[in-house]
Structure 1
Amino acid sequence: MKIAVAGAGAMGSRVGLYLTQAGQDVVLLDDWQTHIDAVTAHGLKVHTLGETEYHPVSIRSFKDYSMPVDLVIVLTKAMAAEEKIKQLMAQGVITAETNVMSMMNGLGHGDLLRKYIADDKILLAVTMWSAGFNGPGEVTLEGTGNIEFGRMDGTVDDFVKELNAIFDEAQLNGRISEDIVTSIWNKALVNCCFNTYCAVTDKKIGEFGAYPYADDMLIPLMKEIIAVGERKGARLDFDATLNKFHAIYSPEVVGLHYPSMHQDIQNGRKTEVDFLTGRVAKYGREFSIPTPYCDILTHLVHQIEKS
C-alpha cells in the first residue's frame, strides 16, 4: 500500500518506521528541513531500551511531494491539519480514491475531515503508542501500544480489513473499532489528564502517578470529561478508565514517557490544549455543563506557552 504519513514528528516517525519495516511503500512528509536532511543523510536515529540504531526511511518536504497515495495518515499538530490537508489535495497527493486517517490527539477532527473528504474515505484513529522527539532525525521509542481505528459510521469494509492486517504485520497492534466516537473520547480522557497535568507539573507520567494524591487531581477532571463526552455520544466507564490510568504508570507501559504537550513546551512549540481540555470546555459550554478543571488547565498551559 502506498502510504503518506503527514507529520514526521515523534509519533509520525514511529508509525512510518514500523510500516516501512513491514514492507509498505511509505513516505514521511514534514516541513522542518533540518529534520528532513538528517533523516535523509543518516536514517532515523532511534533510541530504544538503552540501545541506539539508525533506520532508513523515506522522507520528503510537503511542498516537494505530489504523488497520489492510497492512504494519508494525518499526524501533524492539530492546529496545522486543515492547511496540510488542503495542500495535499492541491498537489494531487489526496485524490478522490485516497483514504484519509486522522491519528491526531484531541477532539473534533472528524468534523474537519468531512469538510474536504467523502465520508466513505474517512478513517479516525487513536493510538496508545508513545514516542519522544529528541531533535532533528532522532527519536526515543519506548513501551508498547496499539492503534484503534474505524470508519465514522462503524462500517468495516475491505480497506479497513486490509489496513488492520497491515498494522498487525507492522506490529502496531491494530484494532478495528465499531464505535470510534467512544474510542476517541477514551483517548481524549488520557490526553486531557496526562498531557495537561504532566505539562504543568514538569513530570513524566509515572512521576505524576507516584504523587500520593494524584487521584484527587484526576477524578474531578475525569468526571467533567465523561459528562461532556456522554453528551457527544461516547460510552465512557469511569472505573475502567481509572484502573487503566493506574496501569499506565508502569515503566513497562508509558510511565517513563513525557507526553507530547510537555515535549512541545520544552521545545517552545504551541500545544494542542485547545483540542483537548479546551475543546471539552467548549462543548461543556454548549451543553451548560460546568468544566472548571478543564478551564483552569487550559489557561495554565497557555500561560506556560507564553512564558
Structure 2
Amino acid sequence: MGKRIAIIGAGAVGGHVGGHMAANGEDIVFIDGWPEHVDAMNRDGLHLTGVTAAEEITVPVKALHMSDVQSLSKGRPIDIAFICVKSYDTQWATHLIKPYLAPDGFVASLQNCMNEEFIAAIVGWGKVVGCIAAKISVELRGPAHVNRNVPLHGNAHTVFRAGEVHGEDTPRIREVARLCAYTDSAMVTDNLWGQRWSKLCLNASGNGVSASSGLGAADIANDPHLRLVKIKLAAESIRVGRAAGFTLEKMAGIAGDVYEAAADGDAAARKIIDDAMIAAGQKGNPDARPSMGQDMAKGRRTEIDYMNGLVVAKGQENGIETPTNEGLIAAVKKVERGAAVADAGLLAGL
C-alpha cells in the first residue's frame, strides 16, 4: 500500500505539485482554508494549465476544508505532510496536521524562506525535511485552477531539491524527490541549508520588487534601475549567507561572486546578469509575477518579514549591512498597509 500524503495549503505550489501526484495515482488529500476552492476541487477536480495545451489536465481529487481535518482520523494516518502555506502560517498548519501523522510520518516544508525550524519546534527535528521549488512560477488563477507560467520540464536547472536537515541521503528523502518528480525535475541534496539560502537570495531579490512596484517579471527585467536594485538585493543576501556559514549554490546559473562584483560596479559582471535577467523575462507568460507580487495584487499579507526580513536579521547577527533590503522592506510595508500604491518610483532611491 502506498503512502498517504497530505498537502496543507492547496494554493499555487501545493495545488500544482499535489495535482501531479494525484494524476499519477498517489493517495493525496488536500487541506485548505478557502471554502470555494475546496468545494470546486471536490466537485470539478483540480484543473492544471500551463504554457502549452499539452500541459492542461483536470484531476479528480479529495479536498478538506481545514475545519474538517478531524475526519482524517477515520482513515489511515498521514505518512508525508507537505506544508505549502505561506511562511507566516507555518506553525498553525503544522499543529493542524501533527495529530494525524503516522508514527514514522514526517513533515516536508515545500515553501519559500526557511521554516524547518518552526516545524521542528512542533513535531521535532526527526520529523522534518525540506524541499525547494526553484523558479516553478505557478499561480492560483481561481477556485480549483492552478496555472504554470513557464514550460513544464523547460528549465535548464533542477526544479525540486529535497534534503534532510542533517544532509544524509535517506529512503524518505528519496521518496520526497520521487513524488516531486511527477511535476518536474527533482534531486536529493546534501546541502539543504545552502540551497535554502541560495533560493532565499533569489526570492529576496525579486519578490519584493514586484510587490512594491506592481510590475510583473518581464517589465522588471526591462527596467535598468530595477535590475540594479535586484542585483544589490542579491549581493547583500549573498554576503549575509556566507557570513552565516552557508555553502551557497549558483543562483539562476550565476555564481554569487558575479552578483557581488556587479553590485560593486563591475561592468562585465553587470552585463552578465543584465543579459540573464532580460532573457528570463522573455520566457513564459509576460504578465507572470512572483508569489509576493501575486499576494500584493490580491490584497494579501506578504512574506517580506520571512524573506528580506530574515536577510536583515541574519545580517545584524553577523555584522553585515543590508541597506537595500531594509529599503525594500519599508517600500513593501508601505504598500501593504495602504499608505502607498504600488509603483516603481517607491524604489527610486535604492
State TM-score, norm by structure 2. Answer: 0.80
Indicate the SS of the match to 2:132: strand
Is 1:196 the equivalent of 2:197? Answer: no
- Residues 47 and 140, structure 1, Cα contact 8 Å, conserved in 2: yes
Q: What corresponds to 2:97 in structure 1?
A: 88
- Residues 81 and 97, structure 2, Cα contact 8 Å, conserved in 1: no
Q: What corresponds to 1:209 in structure 2?
A: 221
The residue correspondences of 1:213-292 to structure 2 (distance < 5 A) are 213-236=225-248, 237-239=255-257, 243=273, 245=277, 248-252=280-284, 256-292=287-323
After superposition, give the CA deviation of every residue in 1:222-248 in whole Å (9 maximum; x if it has no partner). 121011111222223315677565653
Instruction: Identify which of 57, 62, 74 aligns with 1:58.
Output: 62
Structure 2 unaligned regions, length at least 5:
249-254, 260-271, 339-350
Instruction: Identify which of 96, 102, 110 aligns with 1:103.
Output: 110
One-letter code aligned to 1:111 = E
Q: What corresponds to 1:127 in structure 2?
A: 133
Instruction: Identify which of 43, 62, 76 aligns with 1:41.
Output: 43
Find the aligned partners of 1:48 and 1:96 in 2 and give their Cα distance.
38
Q: What corresponds to 2:33 in structure 1?
A: 31
**CA shift at 1:24, angstroms?**
0.9
Find the aligned partners of 2:166 and 2:131 in 1 and give their Cα distance.
13
Is 1:163 the equivalent of 2:176? Answer: yes
- Residues 190 and 245, structure 1, Cα contact 8 Å, conserved in 2: no
- Residues 185 and 229, structure 1, Cα contact 8 Å, conserved in 2: yes
Find the aligned partners of 2:123 and 2:240 in 1 and give their Cα distance.
27
After superposition, give the CA deviation of every residue in 1:2-22 in whole Å (9 maximum; x if it has no partner). 110110111111011011112
- Residues 30 and 59, structure 1, Cα contact 8 Å, conserved in 2: yes
- Residues 124 and 149, structure 1, Cα contact 8 Å, conserved in 2: yes
- Residues 138 and 148, structure 2, Cα contact 8 Å, conserved in 1: yes
CA separation of 1:101 and 1:53: change in aligned 2, threshold 3 A: closer
One-letter code aligned to 1:133 = L
- CA-based RMSD of the aligned residues comes to 2.1
CA separation of 1:189 and 1:289: change in aligned 2, threshold 3 A: same
**CA shift at 1:255, angstroms?**
5.7
Q: What corresponds to 1:148 in structure 2?
A: 161
Find the aligned partners of 1:133 and 1:99 in 2 and give their Cα distance.
26
Instruction: Identify which of 75, 79, 97 aligns with 2:84.
Output: 75
**CA shift at 1:211, angstroms?**
1.6
One-letter code aligned to 2:302 = T
Structure 1, 234-243 or 176-185: larger mean CA deviation: 234-243
One-letter code aligned to 1:119 = W
**CA shift at 1:54, angstroms?**
3.3
Find the aligned partners of 1:186 and 1:245 in 2 and give their Cα distance.
17
Indicate the SS of the match to 1:132: strand
After superposition, give the CA deviation of every residue in 1:234-282 in whole Å (9 maximum; x if it has no partner). 2233156775656533414x76521111111111110111000011111
Q: Looking at CA atoms only, which structure, 1 or 2, has the larger radius of gyration?
A: 2
Is 1:293 the equivalent of 2:324? Answer: yes
Indicate the SS of the match to 2:187: strand
CA separation of 1:22 and 1:240: change in aligned 2, threshold 3 A: farther
Indicate the SS of the match to 1:76: coil
Identity %: 24
Instruction: Identify which of 6, 9, 12 aligns with 2:8.
Output: 6
- Residues 8 and 84, structure 2, Cα contact 8 Å, conserved in 1: yes
One-letter code aligned to 1:71 = I
Is 1:116 the equivalent of 2:122? Answer: yes
Find the aligned partners of 2:333 and 2:287 in 1 and give their Cα distance.
25
State TM-score, norm by structure 1. Answer: 0.91
**CA shift at 1:63, angstroms?**
2.7
Question: How many pairs does the alignment contain?
Answer: 302
Indicate the SS of the match to 1:97: strand
CA separation of 1:43 and 1:82: change in aligned 2, threshold 3 A: same
